[in-house]
Amino acid sequence: MDFNSWLPLLIVLSSLIPGLLIFTLAEHRTLLRTCLNLSGVVIKLLLVVWMWLGVKAGEDYFFQLPFLPGGPFILHGDALSLQFVMLSSVLWLATTVYAIGYLENSPLRSRFFGYFSLCVSATVGLALSGNLVTFVLFYELLTLATFPLVVHRGTPQSLRAGRRYLAYTISGGVLLLMGAALLHSVAGSPVFMPGGYLSAQLDTQSMALIVAFVLLIAGLGVKAALLPLHGWLPEAMVAPAPVSALLHAVAVVKAGAFGIVRVVYDVFGVEVMQQLDLTWPLVVLASSTILYGSWRALQQQDIKRRLAYSTVSQVSYVTLGVAMLGPVAAIGGLVHLVHQGVMKITLFFCAGNYAETLGIHKVHELNGVGRRMPLSSVAFSLGALGMIGIPPTAGMVSKWYLSMGALEAGFPWVLGVLLMSSALNAAYFLPLLYRIWCLPAAEWPEERRLSDRFETHWMLLLPPVLTGALIVLMGVLAGTDISPLSWTELIVEREFGYVE
């Protein structure tokens, strides 16, 4: 085995090993812990960039280990997995910096950062999974690694949220396991391949395939917060802000959406999906989730809760784009995977900043905060505008491709759904911006002085400012070679053989 085949494993281990080491550290060893954390982050990022360049040049990264009978443990770096790996690694960097600032002087940091690293390892492993069995493995591990983070505060409220989180995700995990077992018994667990590997079973086992699809989507839909399965996400917002960021942007929700992408394109494949007529139910489901999430978000008076419902809605854009099965729609969906991540993480960072610095949790407490915390508020505004899809933010780019894709794939009504959703997005985000910028300031609920020079601790401020800048850059510079859009076009080119 040469270096290329070890690289995927190294990428997973680069956060796993620091994570395990961190568990053993005593609470007061802040410096060592921070060094371990950051070195893990940086090494991972370097490795990922290396792999990114390699995949771009057409290299193949393949790691295999015997695991289940007939279902080996495979890590495979292809264009699609790199999209997710890149997103997680970059945002993990931001979140780690943020979390170090956020948890300064709070107890149980070793536990927190240990699980934090495990969580990212599981996410990256999930992204690099080369077959369904490996995917299921990491999917479950992700659930386990995230749970301690969700309940980290240990208050009755967060324990309740944790119970709910587990109830949903474990059930989803079992469904996914069932589905994977069914597919394994039908067709084994070969490597994910563009176009799927089930066309041979299409004629003889169509019923089994449909059942498997339903099980898999139900299992993945829990994490992706599809409509009847979304209940855990708004509850889980009681977690600390970096965890919410992780849940909503880097790891959990994205893992579900990414899984749907894998299942649709690389397990079933476009042709089988069309033959089995599985497209429209998924499109309808995603559309209703989009509208329902936005509608619920309108009614929330808690900022993080509102953001959580917004995630419910926005993540389904990914599902929607993927489900429509057209190349342009796929570009829209896949690029939104990245764009939504960056935008939502910015919003959660800022919400966390408001809560940490001024004790702001409710919408009506936001009045006039723009003057007190201008940088955070600018970042928040950019994120919000991106969610609505106002140019020149990244959200506009994904919305554009989704809409074009909807027309191209023959779902013109989806355009209406997207418009409705944008209108609702505007209806629940713009009042926040109005309060932030246009209303006079009142008393803050609980002000803490975290920095003399900046509006808040610099580690809390830097990540949202950077991701906020990214939101605009990803929109304005969408045509460059290193933009998510270009990478997504590469993926779609390799999946569909489609060149724009």
Question: Considering only residues 360-419, where is the footprint of other proteins by CB under 8 A?
Answer: 389-392, 396-397, 399-400, 403-404, 407-408, 415-416, 419
Which residue from 129, 300, 316, 319 is in contact with other proteins, where contact means CB under 8 A? 300
* Contact call for residue 304 and other proteins (CB under 8 A): no
Give me the long-range contacts of 451-455 (CB less than 8 A, separation at least 24).
Answer: 454/375, 455/357, 455/372, 455/373, 455/374, 455/375, 455/376
Instruction: Closer to other proteins by CB, 48 or 397: give it.
Output: 397
Q: What angle do CA 226, 229, 231 make, to 5 degrees?
A: 110
Q: Minimum Å distance from CB 140 to other proteins?
A: 5
Which candidate, 286, 292, 310, 289, places its Cα nearest to that of 409? Answer: 286
Name residues contacting other proteins, limited to 212-241 (CB under 8 A). 231
Binding to other proteins (CB under 8 A) within 155-184 occurs at 155-156, 159, 162-163, 166-167, 170-171, 173-175, 177-178, 181-182, 184
Q: Which residues face 75 on adjacent strands?
A: 63, 129
Of 168 and 349, which CB lies nearer to other proteins in the complex structure?
A: 168
Smallest distance, other proteins to C-beta of residue 478, A = 5
Task: Show the site string, 305-324: x = touches other proteins by CB under 8 A, - = not.
Answer: x-------------------
Q: Which of 298, 375, 466, 469 binds other proteins (CB under 8 A)?
A: 298
Size of the site for other proteins (CB under 8 A): 80
**Among residues 10, 43, 93, 108, which is the contact residue for other proteins, using CB under 8 A?**
108
Q: How far is the CB of 46 from other proteins (least distance, A)?
A: 25
In the bound state with other proteins, the residue whose beta carbon lies nearer, of 75 and 97, is: 75
Stretch 15-74 residues interacting with other proteins (CB under 8 A): 65-69, 73
At its nearest, how many Å lie between other proteins and the CB of residue 300?
5
**Dist. CA 448–CA 440, nearest whole Å:** 20
CB of 175 to other proteins, least distance (A): 8
- Of residues 430, 459, 472, 490, which one binds other proteins by CB under 8 A? 430
Beta carbon of residue 177, minimum distance to other proteins (angstroms, whole number): 8
Nearer to other proteins, 111 or 361 (CB): 111
Q: In the complex, what is the shortest distance from the CB of residue 59 to other proteins, in angstroms, rounded to a whole number?
A: 26
How many alpha carbons fall within 13 Å on the CB side of residue 262? 32
Cis peptide before 431 (omega within 30 of 0): no
Q: Report the sign of the C-alpha dihedral through residues 392, 395, 398, 404, in that order.
A: negative
Q: How far is CA 114 from CA 37, 40, 90, 335, in A?
A: 9, 12, 18, 30
Q: CA 357, CA 351: separation in Å to the nearest integer?
A: 10
Residues in region 329-358 near other proteins by CB under 8 A: none
Q: Which is nearer to other proteins, 18 or 405 (CB)?
A: 405
What is the CA angle 345-348-351, rounded to 5?
Answer: 150
Secondary structure (3-state) at 106: coil
From the number of C-beta atoms within 10 Å of its C-beta (0-12, 13-18, 19+), residue 375 rates as middle
179-201 burial, b if ≥16 CB within 10 A, otherwise e? Answer: bbbbbbebbebbbbbbbbbbeeb
Binding-site member from 34, 431, 469, 493 for other proteins (CB under 8 A): 431
**Choice from 151, 323, 334, 351 touching other proteins (CB under 8 A):** 151
364 or 448: whose CB is closer to other proteins? 364
State how far the Cα of 196 lies from the Cα of 263, in Å rounded to an integer: 8
Amino acid found at 193:
M
Least distance to other proteins from the beta carbon of 492, Å? 14
The residues with which 65 forms a beta bridge, in sequence order, are 73
8 Å CB contact between 120 and 147: no
Which of the 8 DSSP states describes residue 439? S
| Closest CB 155 distance from other proteins, rounded Å | 5
Contacts of other proteins in 443-482 (CB under 8 A): 475-480
Q: Give the burial class of 175: count Cβ atoms within 10 A of its Cβ; 0-12 exposed, 13-18 middle, 19 or more buried.
A: buried
d(CA 156, CA 163): 10
Among 22, 41, 141, 343, binds other proteins (CB under 8 A): 141
Dihedral pair phi/psi, residue 107, rounded to 5°: -75, 170
Name which of 349 and 496 has its Cβ closer to other proteins.
496
477-496 footprint of other proteins as x/- string (CB under 8 A): xxxx----x-----------
Instruction: Quote the least distance from Cβ 80 to other proteins, whole Å.
Output: 21
CB 390 to other proteins: min, Å: 6
Q: Which is nearer to other proteins, 144 or 490 (CB)?
A: 144
